[in-house]
Structure 1
Amino acid sequence: MVRVLRMMGKNAGNLPGLALWTLNKKCLKAFRPDCPIIAVTGTNGKTSVTNFLSYIFSKSGCKNIITNYEGNNLDTGICSLLLNYCTMTGKIHADYLVLEVDESHVPVIFSQLKLETLIVLNFFRDQLDRNGEVETLILKVKKFCETFDGNLILNGDDPNVARLGLANPGNKKVKYFSVERYKYATETLYEAGEGRFCPVCGHALEYDYYQYSHIGKFRCPKCGYGNYPVYARFTGIDPDKRTFTADGGKYTTVCSSIYYMYNLCAVYSAAKLYGIDKEIIRKAFRSFRVNNGRLESFRYKNSELILNLAKNPVGANMTVRIMNECPGKKELLFVLNDNTADGLDVSWIWDINFSIFNNVSKVVASGTRAYDIAVRIKCSGYDASKIKVRPDLDDAVKELFSGEGKKFAIANYTAVQPARAALNRFIGGVRDEK
């Protein structure tokens, strides 16, 4: 089915896997990969880290890397991916399988496939009507980690992720990554966060600083939680020059946000674990862009726009922070949809900190819930006369580029690809007929 759909020029997506999964919930056991499987999970950053790792492995001489570049990170999507590459007997020949996996599906998928390395990036509230509270997701992954004895690469600056290293005391392959304080870190919680209490003893955590949300340098004054050896640490973060240091080597990146640095630190940790040459890592960090709506750049005449996917408060807050750290006047496009894949409940927009706007001269609201995001921004104290509501994306992009200057765009899950398409249409001078 997958091959037939591709021959027809269609993106197979989840459909073939959905059909197989419906017939047999244990179908993943039929696949027999002859290579290591590396999985990336967490609320934000999965696609970026997965794409980066696949790129770095390919540059290291691996000719056959199988990965789900387009997302499709549920059990049905993984099924579709493996169907596309397996033989008639279920064998899969590759150097590596590098998989982006939804947090809630980690236990399901890897109860049937042998996982070698699991990378966990972060845990935030996300799509509450689908996932429930964040603790529900954490406990699902923790349950899996209790019997997992493979490589476990954890964000040591997220107390909800670091706790997974304690799930299986017999696993000696747990490795933590960390990013040193950068110049925009704060002494107090700047945005909505989840890591306020020690997951071991329940005592209130103390923070030396917050990088963003609840990510930062924490410790429990009662039981000592937060003290562990760091496998990979980024130091000397310079967001202006887009440089940092790791293991004594200096690296340059294409983006400078602290959010991006944590993604790269996860990539660096995995590359270090697998013995990838540092020069390959250095070149990748200096030149590779994931794009696809992840801090993707667009240029029109004298204006540059940065588009970023934000499907929860933390993602949106990070884009707002990136915008605020940029000097000069800025304009913002916010595209908010409420389709099934987004989560029908958009109340999460009230956890976005719009009150910190810095030199934002105009906001354009678009998407199926354009008026909701416009009202939310108005209620933050922003001047309502500077908010333009344009539910149609083509109209919204035209409005945004009616003036010059730096532009930023935030789009949630089902909005990001239509937003990219509208931007490309405008820049290319083509408008869809209505």
Structure 2
Amino acid sequence: MMVKVLRLIGKDAGNAPGLVLWTLNKDCLKAFKVECPIIAVTGTNGKTSVTNYLNHIFTSGDKKDLKIITNKQGNNLDTGICSLLLGECDFHGRVKADYLVLETDESHVPVIYSKLKLETLVVLNFFRDQLDRNGEVETLILKVKKFLETYEGNLVLNADDPNVARLGLANPNNKNVHYFSVERYSGATDQPYEVGEGKYCPFCNSKLEYEYYQYSHIGKFRCPNCDFGSARPEVVIKDVDLQAPSFVIDGEKYKPSHNSIYYIYNLGAVYTASKLYNISKDVLHDTFEHFEVNNGRLEVFEVAGSKLLVNLAKNPVGANMTLRVMNEHPGEKELLFVLNDNLADGHDVSWIWDINFSVFKDVTRVVTSGSRAYDIAIRIKCSGYDPDKIVVKPDLDRAMESFFSTVGDKFAIANYTAIQPTRAAIRRYKEGTEDAND
């Protein structure tokens, strides 16, 4: 009832109703009667995008009449999913839908799906993220692994991330493990380009050998001492051309709307999960070419004669991938970096020192904003970038005025609690300039 009342007055219920119920009863998820298949998406980066893609796919083509319940805006903890189900159930706890497609925080996978029956789990990647909340990445991986030791449902895994690929061996009795991989693309390197976590074999502790790195620790790897890394993916993305952009899967060429290798891996996960549910190739082509998440994930704005690409980055890998996209863009460009340290971000922002700012290419100016605007400015200065080209504006509206005082190609990075305020500030500035010109 609380969820429905909040919706009626135009408010997002978020975690609040679920938090109340969870406080009263930690086993409250068992009270929901869910008979439809549940598809969950987890991993450090890309959860929201992949969840939104799958939701779009399941409501397209000949499946457009299906009822899909999903947490499009995140709310991926136990309390958030509890709130979602509260808003969708009847007074008997029955949740009527054809599918539940749920973005799920990595640490909450065991908690939630020990109480709800999971049909398919998609695991994208594992990177170091929010140390003061999650701890070391190995701790997180072991939590998910323990859950998977008795799980026999569909498991979609990134074969190019050793932290993820290892999970396919958690339960030797599970015959429903499906790997996806991306062949070497033109930007891959023989040595690590950014900070990564997958250095040693989780089974024999030998140092992993890489044929190439796509980004961070994602790439073609093998253990020289055991057979880890020998999994044969059933989905392999080939002929990746980020200039077109295009790639080939199962002999068909796809033309995605974005040109990041990180984005291509997300589509690999989407494609592999879609195969399990017999999604038509026509729907996949249309979705890959035209669907946009538009919530700060590779979102494009046209503002005052400038083209701006905005992306969420809540850890070094996310930031490094946006910088890679920026550096691969020809010509001069400017960067806005908005950094907060709110509870949901993690108060520890030491992760910014693992961002590779030394690779700046044709970046003529940087504007920093947010509650830790000075921290990120100092980090960029320490990378060797000219401090005279760094403008610090903690207030977002003042930052937008400075950022758009020039015209050209622009990129923006914002962390978790900064992304929506940044998008709102961009819109305010855009509306203000348009009104002034009327």
Q: TM class, shorter-chain normalised?
A: over 0.9
Cα offset, 1:5, TM superposition: 1.0
Unaligned runs of 5+ in 1: none
> Which residue is equivalent to 2:187?
184
> Which residue is equivalent to 1:46?
47
> Which residue is equivalent to 2:74?
71
Letter in 2 for 1:34: E
CA offsets, 1:357-396, max 9 Å, x none? 0000000010000000000000000000000000011111
Cα offset, 1:430, TM superposition: 7.0
Cα offset, 1:34, TM superposition: 2.1
Cα offset, 1:228, TM superposition: 1.2
- Structure 2 distance, partners of 1:118, 1:377, is 38
Secondary structure at the aligned position of 1:395 is classed as helix
1:294 to 294, 297, 313: 297
Secondary structure at the aligned position of 2:229 is classed as coil
Secondary structure at the aligned position of 1:81 is classed as helix
CA offsets, 1:58-105, max 9 Å, x none? 004142110000100000000000001111111111111000000000
Secondary structure at the aligned position of 1:66 is classed as strand
- Is it true that 1:24 corresponds to 2:16 in the alignment? no
- Structure 1 distance, partners of 2:46, 2:423, is 18
- Structure 2 distance, partners of 1:10, 1:403, is 37
> Which residue is equivalent to 2:248?
245
TM-score (norm 2): 0.97
> Which residue is equivalent to 2:322?
319
1:232 to 230, 235, 240: 235
- Structure 1 distance, partners of 2:334, 2:398, is 15
- Is it true that 1:169 corresponds to 2:186 in the alignment? no
Letter in 1 for 2:70: T
Identity of aligned residues (%): 68
2:387 to 384, 388, 392: 384
Aligned length: 431
- Structure 2 distance, partners of 1:416, 1:409, is 10
- Structure 2 distance, partners of 1:428, 1:249, is 42
Cα offset, 1:291, TM superposition: 1.3
Cα offset, 1:302, TM superposition: 2.6
> Which residue is equivalent to 1:86?
89
> Which residue is equivalent to 1:350?
353
1:139 to 119, 138, 142: 142
- Structure 2 distance, partners of 1:34, 1:220, is 42
Letter in 2 for 1:70: Q
The more displaced of 53-62 and 310-319 is 53-62
Cα offset, 1:8, TM superposition: 1.6
Secondary structure at the aligned position of 1:342 is classed as coil
1:335 to 338, 342, 352: 338
Letter in 1 for 2:56: Y
- Structure 2 distance, partners of 1:371, 1:301, is 27
Letter in 1 for 2:216: S
> Which residue is equivalent to 1:209?
212
- Is it true that 1:105 corresponds to 2:105 in the alignment? no
Cα offset, 1:143, TM superposition: 0.4
1:260 to 259, 263, 273: 263
Letter in 2 for 1:76: T
- Structure 2 distance, partners of 1:10, 1:51, is 21
- Structure 2 distance, partners of 1:283, 1:33, is 31
Contact 2:33-2:95 within 8 A present in 1 as well = yes
Q: Sort the Cα spacing of 1:422 and 1:198 in 2 relative to 1 into closer, same or farther, 3 A.
A: same
Contact 2:297-2:311 within 8 A present in 1 as well = yes
Letter in 1 for 2:128: R
- Structure 2 distance, partners of 1:214, 1:133, is 16
Unaligned runs of 5+ in 2: none
> Which residue is equivalent to 1:393?
396
Letter in 1 for 2:35: D
Cα offset, 1:199, TM superposition: 0.8
1:158 to 153, 158, 161: 161
- Is it true that 1:417 corresponds to 2:420 in the alignment? yes
- Structure 2 distance, partners of 1:430, 1:97, is 42
2:199 to 191, 196, 200: 196
Secondary structure at the aligned position of 2:54 is classed as helix
Cα offset, 1:301, TM superposition: 3.4
Cα offset, 1:402, TM superposition: 1.0
- Structure 2 distance, partners of 1:9, 1:21, is 24
- Structure 1 distance, partners of 2:206, 2:166, is 14
> Which residue is equivalent to 1:13?
14
Letter in 1 for 2:243: D
- Structure 2 distance, partners of 1:345, 1:408, is 24
- Structure 2 distance, partners of 1:93, 1:252, is 35
Contact 2:306-2:410 within 8 A present in 1 as well = yes
Cα offset, 1:224, TM superposition: 1.9
Letter in 2 for 1:37: I
Secondary structure at the aligned position of 1:429 is classed as helix
TM-score (norm 1): 0.98
Letter in 2 for 1:306: L
Cα offset, 1:415, TM superposition: 0.2
- Structure 2 distance, partners of 1:30, 1:306, is 43
Secondary structure at the aligned position of 1:178 is classed as strand
> Which residue is equivalent to 1:96?
99
Letter in 2 for 1:379: C
Secondary structure at the aligned position of 2:100 is classed as strand
Letter in 2 for 1:44: N
Letter in 1 for 2:12: N
Moved segments of 4+, more than 3 Å? none
Q: Sort the Cα spacing of 1:430 and 1:8 in 2 relative to 1 into closer, same or farther, 3 A.
A: farther
Contact 2:304-2:404 within 8 A present in 1 as well = no
